[in-house]
Amino acid sequence: MARSSSAPAPVPLGSLTQPGAREGARCQMCRSERVTRISMELTDGSEVDFTHCLECEHRTWQHGDEVLSVDHVLSRAKRTR
Ligand SMILES: [Zn+2]
């Protein structure tokens, strides 16, 4: 009874519930796809994508393809009046 047909690799079901998960969202550090991605808007109106890796806790902010530094984001995210 030789099984000649190779079963395709099972597709892992996404356990994350974030809406609008884009394909290609990966951790910049460990390349894991187990990331939480949130789109947020800074005080100056620019939209950034916040990616939080569930594997290594690495956090990344991106504006388009540009990776922003944490200091850059925090300086804009909080504004003291
Ligand atoms: Zn990671």
Q: pLDDT per residue over 32-67, tens digit each? A: 999 999 999 989 898 999 999 999 999 999 998 889
Mean of the pLDDT values across residues 6-17? 58
Distance 26 CA to ligand 1 centre (A): 8
**How far is the centre of ligand 1, averaged over its atoms, from the C-alpha of 54 (Å)?**
7
In a domain, 59, yes or no: yes
What is the Å distance from ligand 1's center to 76 Cα?
24
Q: Please provide the distance, in angstroms rounded to a whole number, between the alpha carbons at the two ends of the chain.
A: 75
> Which residues lie across from 31 on neighbouring strands?
none
- Please indicate, yes or no, if residue 21 is contained in any of the structural domains: no
| Residue 3 CA to ligand 1 centre (angstroms) | 38
Residue 44 belongs to domain spanning: 35-77
pTM above 0.75, yes or no: no
Q: Is residue 29 part of a domain?
A: no
- Within a domain: residue 63? yes
Give, in order, the Cα–Cα distances in Å from 41 to each of 8, 23, 45, 53, 72.
41, 21, 6, 20, 13
Q: Is residue 57 part of a domain?
A: yes
CA of 67 to the centre of ligand 1 (A): 15
Mean pLDDT of 75-79: 77
Please check whether residue 1 lies inside any domain of the structure: no
Provide the number of structural domains found in the chain.
1
